[in-house]
Amino acid sequence: MEQQTFALPRFLESYLEDPSAIVTFALTLKTVPNKTLGLNLKQPYSAWKLYANGKLIGASGILDPVSGHHIAYPDYPIISFTPKHKTTKLLLYLGNSQHRHLGFYGVPEIAPYGMLEQHRLKASIIEMMVVTILVSFAVYHLGLFIAWRRDKVPFWFAMLCLSLALRATTTGEKILLHLFPNISWEMLTRIEYASGYMALPFFVLYFGSLYPKQTSRIAESVYLGTGLTFLSFTFFSSTVFFTATLPYYELVVVTFIIYGLWILYRSLKDKESGSVIAFLAFSVFAVTVVHDLLMFENIISSSTDMLPYGFVLYLLAQAAILLLRYASAFRLIETQSNNLETIVGERTKALSALLAQRDLLLRELTHRVKNNLQFIISLLWIQRKEADMQTNQSLKTLEAQIQAIAAVHESLCTQNKISVIEINEYIQKLIISLEQLYPDLSVTFVPSRSIYLQTDHVISLGLIINELVTNHIKYSTASQMPTVHISIQKNLDRNVVLHYNDGADHRETFECSTVSAFGLPKLGWPMIKEFIKQMKGEIVVLHDHVELHFSSNESF
């Protein structure tokens, strides 16, 4: 069968002036007798029946032309049929009385038997991976909140992750339907819209907690009230009504994106820690949200939800920001306790006991975070075995970034001090994990005598090395991949210099990497510069290598 496409209107109510109707599609196929074909209707919003040469070959839902009340089913099976003639006439009947749209979620596909099933399996695996990552990060941030309940940022971010994870199970391949096969179309649709609508209030509360000085309380109240109003529609109104409210909700989301960028811009002006990373990651996330909104309104031709992938990127940035915040907060507490020892006698004992208890909590939290991150790394490794080349490369990049953070927690779990880390051992662990992830990669490392860095600086250093190495792999081929040379030197004045050489001259990309697609700053060199700034260090790009200058911490 030749591969052909034909124009098919996605939403039909504009032609019928009413989404409550029954429509008929007729298609004549040139077929090979006795060669089985598969057909995927791509989640029509409506009840349907499909006939091949007058014989019923598939159906979902109940069509009632007398009452005009049609009941859709949530499942959409891939239909297989074996043509008996050289031409096959397909008749499709769609009946809708439950949704604001009458039509298809995506473009129907016809292919040789087995091909569509393989595509669905791959899509289900990727979606399950995304859901698992979202849930894992939600548990991770709930652990942070339990350890320090005065900070509400991890709690609201965990709730946001859970709401997006729930929504991801109701779209695409509908993972929730596999877990609860008896769920009704109406209940599944209510959960889909409710999980999407509740994401806005959680995002508002998360931003308000993370940026209290830059947030407008009036705007926060307006967005909270608006989001809860839309959420109430999914509980107390019909499916026809609340599905029709989606375009208005999308307008609210667009205004909130602009509001969020304004908050992050003010954070940049105030030079808050991690503001550059937050602004860049949120900008990319905003692009994926706008993409999905344009797709839902049939303005652009696409059938892939990009929001979960954009949010996974935002998750990585958020994890790094929170780790830096908590490490800085712990360092501040430790400094204040040392000062109080010289002033207060009796209160010092009580404060020491409190710090010991917090140290225990942070150690337990570090152990749990390490286990959660290792679980995510293992999951990514398993999924890469079944993924195509492009998806495999994306998963490798995610795995390398998570491994850089996980190595810090692994080091903290194997030493007595939790405020500083010996970086020679840490860099060696990081190199081993990168070489295991990329078999064609070869890295030589020349260590120095013991060098200790603060925990937040080690996180920054690990992400910098990871970014340099993964970019080296990205722009090299397996047959022409020079060995990466890394060495580190410690001077008598506590200054540390890390040399990185991968055989490339990075001066041009370092100077000319400020703007990329969509007019957004790239996440490569700007991210490295931000991490160097947080380490109070300096980066020097020469013609044959890159140097990172920073100070060690020996007062522990």
Summarised one tens digit per residue, pLDDT across range 150-174 is 888 889 989 988 998 998 898 878 8
Mean of the pLDDT values across residues 201-214?
Answer: 89
Phi-psi region of 501 (alpha: psi -120 to 50; beta: other; left: phi over 0): beta
Pair 231, 90 in one domain? no
Report yes or no on 141 lying in a domain: yes
Distance of CA 91 to the CA centre of its chain: 40
Could you tell me whether strands 79-81 and 484-490 are parallel, antiparallel, or unpaired per DSSP bridges? unpaired
Element (H, E) at 3: none
Report yes or no on 120 lying in a domain: yes
Per-residue pLDDT at 482: 82
Element (H, E) at 254: helix 246-269
* pLDDT tops 90 at residue 193: yes
Report yes or no on 427 lying in a domain: no
Which residues lie below 8 Å from residue 119, measured CB to CB, with a gap of 6+? none
Counting Cβ atoms within 10 Å, is residue 486 exposed (0-12), middle (13-18) or buried (19+)?
Answer: buried
Domain end (from 313, 334, 365): 313
Q: DSSP character for 339?
A: H
More confident residue, 527 or 415: 527
Pair 49, 123 in one domain? no
Number of domains in the chain: 2
* pLDDT tops 70 at residue 367: no
Highest mean pLDDT among 12-26, 230-244, 403-417: 230-244
Pair 62, 196 in one domain? no
Per-residue pLDDT at 375: 62
Domain end (from 90, 112, 134): 112
Per-residue pLDDT at 341: 60
Give the span between the Cα atoms of 396 and 377, in whole angstroms: 10
Counting Cβ atoms within 10 Å, is residue 428 exposed (0-12), middle (13-18) or buried (19+)?
Answer: middle
The DSSP bridge partners found for residue 487 are: 446, 499
Contact 402, 410 (CB under 8 A): no
Could you tell me whether strands 37-40 and 420-422 are parallel, antiparallel, or unpaired per DSSP bridges? unpaired
Pair 252, 157 in one domain? yes
Give the pair of three-digit tokens for residue 464. 């910098």
Per-residue pLDDT at 529: 84
The DSSP bridge partners found for residue 497 are: 489, 549
Q: Would you place residue 191 in the very low, low, confident or very high pLDDT band (cuts 50, 70, 90)?
A: very high
Counting Cβ atoms within 10 Å, is residue 503 exposed (0-12), middle (13-18) or buried (19+)?
Answer: middle
Through-space distance between the first and last CA atoms of the chain, rounded to whole angstroms? 72
Give the span between the Cα atoms of 276 and 282, in whole angstroms: 10
Give the span between the Cα atoms of 323 and 301, in whole angstroms: 39
Give the span between the Cα atoms of 65 and 394, in whole angstroms: 48
* pLDDT tops 90 at residue 228: yes
Mean of the pLDDT values across residues 454-469?
Answer: 83
Pair 169, 277 in one domain? yes
Report yes or no on 431 lying in a domain: no
Domain end (from 67, 83, 112): 112
Identify the CA nearest to 325 among candidates 273, 375, 281, 373. 273
**Residue type for position 138:** A
Per-residue pLDDT at 519: 38
Q: Which domain holds residue 79?
A: 13-112
Mean of the pLDDT values across residues 447-465?
Answer: 83
* Cα angle, residue 378 at apex, residues 377 and 380 outer, rounded to 5°: 65
Identify the CA nearest to 458 among candidates 491, 495, 421. 421
More confident residue, 521 or 306: 306
Could you tell me whether strands 484-490 and 538-541 are parallel, antiparallel, or unpaired per DSSP bridges? unpaired
Coil, strand or helix at 229: helix
Report yes or no on 447 lying in a domain: no
Pair 84, 162 in one domain? no
Pair 190, 293 in one domain? yes
Distance of CA 421 to the CA centre of its chain: 29
Q: Would you place residue 279 in the very low, low, confident or very high pLDDT band (cuts 50, 70, 90)?
A: confident
pLDDT tens, residue by residue, 250-270: 899 889 989 988 988 888 888
Pair 169, 235 in one domain? yes
More confident residue, 269 or 1: 269
Pair 154, 211 in one domain? yes
Per-residue pLDDT at 137: 83
Pair 64, 89 in one domain? yes
Identify the CA nearest to 476 among candidates 521, 516, 515, 443. 443
pLDDT tens, residue by residue, 285-342: 888 878 777 776 667 766 566 766 777 777 777 777 766 666 666 666 667 666 656 6
* pLDDT tops 60 at residue 61: yes
298 CB neighbour count, 10 Å cutoff? 13
Could you tell me whether strands 484-490 and 443-446 are parallel, antiparallel, or unpaired per DSSP bridges? parallel
Pair 53, 129 in one domain? no
pTM: 0.56
Contact 549, 497 (CB under 8 A): yes
Mean of the pLDDT values across residues 273-296?
Answer: 79
Sheet containing 55-60: give its strands across. 21-30, 87-96, 47-52, 55-60
More confident residue, 473 or 17: 473
Task: Please identify which residue in the block is written with the tokens 């959409």.
Answer: 76
CATH code of the domain in which 228 resides: 1.20.1070
Rounded to 5 degrees, φ, ψ at 379 are -65, -45
Contact 170, 180 (CB under 8 A): no
Rg of the chain taking only CA atoms, in angstroms: 27
For residue 502, CA distances in Å to 89, 447, 468, 471, 497 come to 61, 17, 9, 10, 17
Pair 101, 217 in one domain? no
Give the span between the Cα atoms of 10 and 102, in whole angstroms: 8
Report yes or no on 430 lying in a domain: no
Give the span between the Cα atoms of 25 and 287, in whole angstroms: 35
Per-residue pLDDT at 510: 80
Cα torsion at 402, 530, 473, 543 (round to 10°)?
A: -160
CATH code of the domain in which 43 resides: 2.60.120.260
Give the span between the Cα atoms of 104 and 41, in whole angstroms: 8
* Cα angle, residue 471 at apex, residues 465 and 474 outer, rounded to 5°: 140
Report yes or no on 152 lying in a domain: yes
pLDDT averaged over every residue in the chain: 80
Report yes or no on 425 lying in a domain: no
Q: What is the DSSP string of 374-417?
A: HHHHHHHHHHHTTS-HHHHHHHHHHHHHHHHHHHHHHHHHTSS-
Q: Would you place residue 521 in the very low, low, confident or very high pLDDT band (cuts 50, 70, 90)?
A: very low
Per-residue pLDDT at 226: 94
